[in-house]
Structure 1
């Protein structure tokens, strides 16, 4: 079976599971159940493969350990190795395949809810006191097996869970193939599908792949390795993982996410994409008010972000914070957009690049935001490019957005590149989509840094000053289309001809009225 066929089969199975759950709960809830069970199966298969590798010199496989004369010794050795290599441990009787088998023993649903609940707890507890404890803690807290949404009775809940496990057990995740990422890609696909149907909440955990790709390509121009990458509003982690696809190697991944459920999604997503627990650090808190103490002392080579648009925040208690104090002004309480920018600039390494999606208002709004904008351009000269995106590319909002690209050590210190890609898209149903050629044109223009008619413009800093640091893209990129000249003589002749036709029609109507002996209507 080809990679594409495997992926299609997996996607179809996932949607079959979603349909089983759909009648009981909303999209957010069954997303948590499906993704949680996929993650459990993934951990189980990784555990089994690694244990088999350890046991190979003994001529054993993991399913043969239970009941073996040296069972305790073997399990203790495997646990020690597993906690170091994988970060967690599962006994043979706790594996996904074993629970699925017990649930369907004899062709009828057997009660496994209690066992399953214990297994999920044991996965987290197996990491306690180890280096991976923080990365695996509370990962399954959104997988509530006691919820009435699964069914009104315990048997009804059990029957539904057994059905879900049985669906998943039919799928081969192909984890033995190091070149394959069928599961990781399908997992991200599923997150995206839930986002597209989740309305306004979607932006909390997912950035459309087309936008992720642009941001990832921007921060990796002329680089094939990154020391680290950071996303201060990382959601499900799709942006961080997208950056890794643009280079040969990323040393470490760092992120922060305020929503606990989305924070769990991100950690799962990292592990499912084979990012070792020692190579990522995701922190669960509000980035602006409670940034990770560990992250604040670090500087990052690549920063990507899609912060919540124009979010409210409370700056009063952090006005002297080093991230903001140099600017002399704080972003308004009703619009935190520039607060996120200030935070990212603070975290950016001297050799780093930052690319951030923001609403268009950040380009031209005045007061404190205008002051911060001027400081970044005039005092620091960090702004490298402004890129306008089409409206309606994000889930849950149709507003047009832009990307700000910033560097602390800019090659082109005397100008700022403006790109207007707002009209370059394909309409797919109700959503505007950036195709591969649209993405490539943005990236190529950023690399070549050239002025293109009605698409891009390289503005000098003097021009930006003359515009009072207003970055509204139409001030720099002229997209005005001249209308065809009007031939007034031809229009006059057309009007005369129409007048003639009207007179003929009026005369004919008057004649008919006379024959009928009635008054004419005019």
Structure 2
């Protein structure tokens, strides 16, 4: 992947400097997505005529074949490809055609704008996808001609990327890589749309345990960001093509990223139910299915929400008697997700450590969850593994009807690889966490299974150091050996002093050095 990643990142150089990462990601990711759809159409047309092969001809040949078929029977090719892909891009709007115009410096901003508009008309799953690609922005250039040049150069650079020239799920992986790189440069806002792959893998593998054969498998992320946390589930279930994705996202830009991401991962429209809305303000989904096999979430930490008294009668929160405080919506997100978990499902949520020990309303909610046996595991992660924040985080695993109330504590905060800008969970670190969760036993200085009585004795405080002692005792000092060593050192010092004084006596003494030598001797006598 490194070669592809370098090509993708180099394409950003044209926009870098004109605007910050939170803005230019919209242009670059949107164009990469459009290029993928266009190139996929060229390949689909070729396969319809020649079948799938191991090595495809150049895009010039693919486009020639498409154009011949289109000129001969446009209605037929549109119908066949639309049924196969869910869309059909007219030849004049294909990325290939736009690139040809760019090579001759004949591309106009309006050409790209028209292409986006036409695609948006082909179904609700494409509607509004490119709203954040503002082709009239002065940041692209102070006038229309300069904006044409900027977009022309970006399209030429992106055309160098062969999206199908690699094995595996390279499209999705490259897309995730780009999101990660933009997040690294976007500062605090990055965490709103990107969860590091290592954390996604931990949560996805754990929530799939015992449900690997479930089909269809319904997964829900109420704060889905780019959708990567949901998509990872495909790695751990035996019927990945039967996964249904349900997600909600408040930020419209991020919501569109998730839609693109799922399409890039070849998720069928019928298996994709995404919504742009406020998860806490209004419950969703309320129609079937509204309970899921897995709930995964990395919500904004300690976000502000209304905490209006009306929510005390909301089915998501009413049984807990208290609401999460206005300044910290962490438990509001948790309870929303837990409500939408089915009786056999598993939930994984990333939150700041404060949820483990803060009191008042949060303490009441935490106590109720523990009395219900809902909290299955507490996994402490290293600090500085998320983009935009260095705080350590915790993964809470929740279940319904567990049959017991013990809690597994894992302190994984010290197992990581330190990199230049942030820490990284290695594959062995991830596997250690998952294996420990599966085995559910005590490991000195790493994991402990606390029964309910132990938790009650700690006043329902789940702070990990109360249960996993990672303190390393200092090596005890042998006083007798140390005393002997000091005696030996004193004897050695005295011998060295005597040798030094002897050397002074052997020196040739003159009137100029006599006073210095006598003064030196007085120091050692």
* Match for residue 212 of structure 1 among 191, 200, 214: 200
Q: Do the aligned partners of 2:188 and 2:388 also contact (CA within 8 Å) in 1?
A: yes
In the aligned structure 1, how far is the partner of 2:328 from the partner of 2:127?
A: 33
What does residue range 180-259 of structure 1 map to in structure 2 within 5 Å? Answer: 180-226=168-214, 227-248=217-238, 249=240, 250-259=242-251
Contact 1:390 1:424 in 2 (8 A): yes
Paired with 2:190 and 2:288, the residues of 1 have a C-alpha distance of: 28
Asked whether the equivalents of residues 88 and 124 of structure 1 are also in contact (C-alpha less than 8 Å), the reply is: no
Among candidates 18, 24, 28, match of residue 34 of structure 1: 28
Q: What secondary structure sits across from 1:264 in the alignment?
A: helix
- What is the CA–CA distance in structure 2 between the aligned matches of 1:296 and 1:203, rounded to whole Å? 30
8 A Cα contact 1:296 1:347, kept in partner: no
| TM-score normalised to structure 1 length | 0.87
**2-side partners of 1:434 and 1:512: how far apart?**
68
TM-score using structure 2 length? 0.87
**Alignment partner, residue 161 of structure 2:** 171
* Deviation readout 1:247-293 (Å, 9 max, x if unpaired): 22242001111111111111000000111111111111111113334
- Spell out, residue by residue over 1:9-59, the C-alpha distance to the aligned partner (whole angstroms, 9 max, x if none): 4322222211111121111222111111111111112333334555679xx
**CA–CA distance in 2 between the matches of 1:230 and 1:333?**
25
When residues 289 and 498 of structure 1 are mapped into structure 2, their CA distance, relative to the original with a 3 A threshold, is farther
Of 272, 280, 286, which residue of structure 1 is paired with 2:278? 286
Alignment of 1:65-104 (within 5 A): 65-68=69-72, 70-71=73-74, 74=75, 77-104=76-103
Match of 1:121 in 2: 117
Measure the CA separation in 1 of the matches of 2:277 and 2:348.
22
Give the secondary-structure state (helix, strand or coil) at the position aligned to 1:470: coil
Please name the residue that 1:423 is paired with: 414
Contact persistence 1:329–1:372 (CA under 8 A): yes
Across the two proteins, how many residue pairs are aligned to each other? Answer: 496
Counterpart position of 2:264: 272
What CA distance in whole angstroms lies between the structure 2 residues aligned with 1:54 and 1:426? Answer: 48
Residue aligning to 1:21: 15
Is 1:62 the counterpart of 2:58 in the alignment?
Answer: no
1:434 deviates by 1.2
Aligned-residue offset at 1:497: 7.2
Cα distance, 1:294 vs structure 2: 4.5
Alpha-carbon displacement from aligned partner over 1:302-325 (angstroms, at most 9, x marks no partner): 111111111111121433211011
Looking at structure 2, the residues matched to 348 and 56 of structure 1 have their Cα atoms a distance apart, in angstroms, of: 46
Aligned to 1:397: 389
Match of 2:135? 145
Distance 1:430 1:159 in 2: 34
CA contact (8 A) 1:14 1:34 kept: no
Residue 475 of structure 2 corresponds to 484
Cα distance in 2 for residues equivalent to 1:433 and 1:165: 33
Contact 1:358 1:403 in 2 (8 A): yes
Say if 1:111 and 1:155, in contact at 8 Å, map to a contact too: no
Structure exhibiting the larger radius of gyration computed from Cα positions = 2
Q: Does 1:406 align with 2:405?
A: no
Is 1:332 paired with 2:331?
Answer: no
Matches for 1:308-319 after TM superposition, within 5 Å: 308-316=300-308, 317-319=310-312
The range that moved more, 229-238 or 192-201, is 192-201
Distance in 2 separating the partners of 1:295 and 1:471: 35
Compared CA separation, residues 173 and 497, structure 1 to 2 (3 A): same
- 1:263 aligned residue (231, 238, 255): 255
Residues 70-94 of structure 1: CA deviation (Å, up to 9, x unaligned) = 44xx2xx444454444333311211
Any gaps of 5 or more consecutive residues in structure 2?
52-63, 502-513
1:475 aligned onto 2:466: yes
For structure 1, the residue ranges without an aligned partner over 5 or more in a row are 1-6, 128-132
Distance of 1:267 and 1:512 partners within structure 2: 90
What RMSD in Å do the two structures reach over aligned CA positions? Answer: 2.9
Distance 1:246 1:311 in 2: 31
Alpha-carbon spacing, 1:20–1:438, altered in 2? closer, same or farther (3 Å) = same
Paired with 2:68 and 2:196, the residues of 1 have a C-alpha distance of 45
Q: Does 1:321 align with 2:314?
A: yes
Quickly say closer, same or farther: Cα 1:451–1:490, change in 2 above 3 A. Answer: same
Q: Distance in 1 between matches of 2:222 and 2:418?
A: 31
User: Within the alignment, does 1:48 sit opposite 2:42 as a pair?
Assistant: yes
Equivalent residue, structure 1, for 2:345: 352
Q: Displacement of 1:502 after TM fit? A: 9.4
The change in CA–CA distance for 1:9 and 1:425 in structure 2 (over 3 A counts) is closer
> 2:15 aligns to what SS in structure 1?
helix
Q: Distance in 1 between matches of 2:45 and 2:292?
A: 36
Contact 2:373–2:406 (Cα < 8 Å) also in 1: no
